[in-house]
Amino acid sequence: MEKTQHSEKLLLRKLDLLLRTGKLLMESAADTSRIMRNMKRTAAYLGLPDEHLHIYINYNMLMVNLSDSEHSFSKFQRCEKHGINMTAISAVSKLSWRAIREDYSLERYEEELENIRSRKRNYTSWQVAVGAGFACGGFCIQFGCDWPAFLYASIAAILGFRLRAVLNELGSNHYMNIAVAAFVSTLLAWASAFISTLDLPAPLHTLFHSDTPWHPLMACALFIVPGVPLINFVSDMLDSYVQIGITRAVNTLLIVVAMAFGIALAIHVCGIDNFVKDLSMTPHHTYLEFAVAAAISAVGFSMIFNIPRRLLWVVAVGGIIAVCTRNFVNLGPSNHNIGLDWGPVIGSLVGSALISIIVTRAVHWFHTPHHCLSIPSVIPMIPGVLMYRALFAFIDMSGVVGEVTIAMNNAIQASLIILCIAVGVAIPNIFARRWIAPKRQKQLKRLIEERRQRGKFVDLTYID
């Protein structure tokens, strides 16, 4: 009897550790396929036989069940604090392999898992805000602004980002915080436009005058655009995790709606003449400027995603490759640029696919999961402006002919670009996995068999 109780208690502890592993991944914004792979690998370490194990993953709830014809043990785990933490995703992946290879005790595994969960983020709050701000400035350059406008967009985004962080800490509604941050950032960007109208002394005029004073309004709130959830949503749908994909999609839509509402309110308060439809987004910079802006945006968003500091330069290079490739394929003679002139949809597909192929090899050099390098690299291509332009057009309809066409054109183009970015990130990895997976699966099976021979696996017949 005492032995049975001990075996049952040990089993429940193992199920709890498995759920805590999955919770950490879900709350760090891992895609569902990765969560499932890591949980199954962790289950192998814990000695939970795959033939009796059932794992259910939902956006807000995880469940595991271990059962045979006579026994059934289930545990649930709620997931509440969703964020983005690429360092945690990478650390959990490494831990699951290391625990099997080095035959960790449960105490050591639990201690290391808790260390990952409680580890301080790699950047301070203000460092992240500055990174997010300059990332928005980089977007602004991609939309055709000059460098003084880059500065104005960055300052507005920095202050808006910090405001949202403070409101989140106070515990107010997440979506309302987004709307308020978008509203304030847009107001600040609008106010900065008047600096270019001032009669400044010659040296100051050179530094602070912008020939594109309204462009910061398009980019100042793009730190809100949920790029990682968007890519995860498409990835989950492609991997047949439809329910979680739909949940991510709805959450993403609510974020973009809140952002569009805040921007629309600021536009009406300021009396701006619908810049959302009229302001050109076609850039005419050199590719060197595109490269600098892409690197800044990729690094800035990487700081939001809590990428390890050692990988920032890698992501910067990835952003340069992805964006410059996209621009070369997208732009061309029709808009007085150098390139193939194939449009943004094909450009986004080619840029994301190229960086994903490169990262498939680079993960072995930098010892980090594929998505921890590929997603931050392609984030500067996310069509945030098209998304809120579409929503704003629907919100601001007044019966003018052509309004629905403009709204639908922006919505369809944004959706196609997002789909192509996600497919570009996922497809090369899927093809590469055909060669990579068998080797890793063979290694995992060998390690599992060794553990089974040492009696490390749970035998339900000992629990009555």
> How do residues 40-86 score in pLDDT, each as one tens digit?
989 988 888 888 889 999 999 999 999 877 778 899 999 988 999 99
What are 299's two structure tokens? 């690094």
- 282: nearest Cα among 238, 211, 330: 330
DSSP class per residue in 165-195? HHHHHHT--HHHHHHHHHHHHHHHHHHHGGG
- Judge whether residue 408 has pLDDT over 70: yes
What are 70's two structure tokens? 């006579």
Q: Report the side by side order of strands in the sheet with 61-67.
A: 53-57, 61-67, 72-78
User: What pLDDT score does 383 carry?
Assistant: 80
Alpha-carbon distance values, 264 to 150, 221, 257, 258, 269 (Å) = 22, 12, 10, 10, 9
User: What pLDDT score does 369 carry?
Assistant: 87
**Spatial contact of 316 and 390, defined as CB atoms under 8 Å apart:** no
d(CA 134, CA 155): 8
For 127-177, write each residue's pLDDT tens digit.
999 999 999 999 999 888 899 999 999 999 999 999 999 999 998 999 999
Residue 226 phi/psi, 5-degree rounding, is: -80, 75
Alpha-carbon distance values, 148 to 46, 144, 300, 308 (Å) = 56, 12, 18, 30
The gap from C-alpha 436 to its chain's centroid, in whole angstroms, comes to 24
Is residue 240 within a helix (H) or strand (E), and if so which, with residue range?
Answer: none
**Spatial contact of 391 and 256, defined as CB atoms under 8 Å apart:** yes
User: What pLDDT score does 326 carry?
Assistant: 93
For 182-206, write each residue's pLDDT tens digit.
999 999 999 988 887 777 777 777 7
More confident residue, 240 or 446: 240
How many Cβ atoms sit within 10 Å of the Cβ of residue 180? 19
Lowest mean pLDDT among 100-104, 166-170, 299-303: 100-104
**Spatial contact of 187 and 353, defined as CB atoms under 8 Å apart:** no
Alpha-carbon distance values, 461 to 4, 188, 458 (Å) = 10, 67, 9
What is the overall mean pLDDT for the chain?
86
**Spatial contact of 189 and 246, defined as CB atoms under 8 Å apart:** no
Q: The pTM is what?
A: 0.88
d(CA 251, CA 363): 30
d(CA 148, CA 151): 5
d(CA 324, CA 330): 10
- Judge whether residue 399 has pLDDT over 70: no
**Spatial contact of 460 and 68, defined as CB atoms under 8 Å apart:** yes
Pairing of strands 61-67, 72-78: antiparallel
User: What pLDDT score does 158 carry?
Assistant: 97
- 186: nearest Cα among 219, 145, 223: 219
Band (pLDDT 50/70/90 cuts) for residue 443 is low
Lowest mean pLDDT among 30-44, 277-291, 298-312: 277-291
**Spatial contact of 182 and 160, defined as CB atoms under 8 Å apart:** yes
3-state SS, residue 53: strand
Lowest mean pLDDT among 109-118, 356-365, 410-419, 426-435: 426-435
d(CA 300, CA 123): 11
Residue 240 phi/psi, 5-degree rounding, is: 75, 15
Residue 53 phi/psi, 5-degree rounding, is: -100, 135
User: What pLDDT score does 433 carry?
Assistant: 57
Choose from 63-72, 302-311, 329-338 the range with maximum mean pLDDT. Answer: 302-311
Place of tokens 């001032």: 198
% of the chain residues with pLDDT over 70: 87
d(CA 446, CA 93): 18
- 29: nearest Cα among 90, 107, 96, 116: 90
d(CA 298, CA 313): 9
User: What pLDDT score does 3 carry?
Assistant: 55
More confident residue, 391 or 135: 135
3-state SS, residue 332: coil
What one-character DSSP code corresponds to residue 64? E
| Contact residues for 361 (Cβ-Cβ < 8 A; gap 6+) | none
- Judge whether residue 418 has pLDDT over 70: yes
Band (pLDDT 50/70/90 cuts) for residue 402 is low
